Amino acid sequence: MKLSEVKALLDAEVEKRNDISELSYDRPDPLLVASRYRDESIALICALFGYGNARQIVKFLDSLDFSLLEASEETIRAALKRHYYRFQKPDDVTALFIALKRLREHDSIENIFYTGYRKEENILEGLWFFIETLKSIYPHDTQGYGFLVGKVPKINGSSTYKRYMMYLRWMVRSDNLDMDLWSKIDKKDLLMPLDTHTFQISRKLGLLKRKSYDMKAVLELTERFKQWNSEDPIKYDFALYRLGQEKQIQL
C-alpha cells in the first residue's frame, strides 16, 4: 500500500472513529472509564493501569472507588487492601492513590507537567519532571510500582511510555473521544502512544522504518504524522489502534 493510500485510509478511520459509540463495554477501552469522571487524577489512574486485556482493564477500573482520592490515607489503605492488578499488588495500588491524593493538595498534574514542558515545549521533559515529582511526594519502591509509574531514562531508553502518551492525548486533544481538560500544552507537541501492536502495524503499513521498539520509534512515527498534520499529529492514534485491535490490518 502506498503512503498516500495509507493516509487516505487513516483519515477516513479518524473521521469514522470520532464517535462516543467507540467507547462501550462491547468495545472496551480505559477511556470509557476516564471519560465518565473527566478528572485529571482519575484519568491518570485509568491510563497507567491501561495495559493487558482491555476487558480486564475496564473491569479492574470499575472496581475502584475514585472518591478515595479525597479520603484519608488510612481510609485509602483499608479500602484498597485487596485490590491488585497483574504486576501491581495492593500496596502498589494504594501507593498510587496516596501519591495522587498528596499531589492534588500540592498542585495540578497539568501544572507539574507544564513546569518541565515549558522551557523547550518538550513533552518528554514534562514527563520526566512529573515522574520525579510523583515519586518524591510518596516514595514507594517496588517492581510493580516502578512498572506502573515509570522511570526517568535517557532518550535511548527502551520504554515508549505508551500509557503516559495516551493520557496526554486524552488531556490535551479535543474531539468526541479525547477530553480537552488541559490548556497549557499544545497538541502539536504530543507524541504517539506506541505499544508493540501499533508498532508492528505501523511497520506493516510503511509508516515506520525503525526496527527497534523504543522511544526513537515513537519520535519517528510522530514525525511521519506531523508531515500529514503538523498541528495535530496524534489524531491518528485511536484509529491506528482500532485497526489493529479489530484485525483489519493483518500482520
pLDDT truncated to tens, each residue of the chain (251 aa)? 899 999 999 999 999 999 999 999 999 999 999 999 999 999 999 999 999 999 999 999 999 999 999 999 999 999 999 999 999 999 999 999 999 999 999 999 999 999 999 989 999 999 999 999 999 999 999 999 999 999 887 556 678 999 999 999 999 999 999 999 999 999 999 999 999 999 999 999 999 999 999 999 999 999 999 999 999 999 999 999 998 888 887 76
pTM, entire model: 0.96
Residue boundaries of the structural domains of the chain? 3-245
Q: Are 85 and 55 in contact (CB under 8 A)?
A: no
Q: Are 237 and 193 in contact (CB under 8 A)?
A: yes
pLDDT value of residue 247: 81
pLDDT value of residue 155: 56
pLDDT value of residue 207: 97
Q: What distance in Å separates the CA atoms of residue 183 and residue 1, rounded to the nearest whole number?
A: 37
pLDDT value of residue 249: 79
Rounded to the nearest 10 degrees, how much is the dihedral formed by the CA atoms of 54, 20, 6, 196? -20
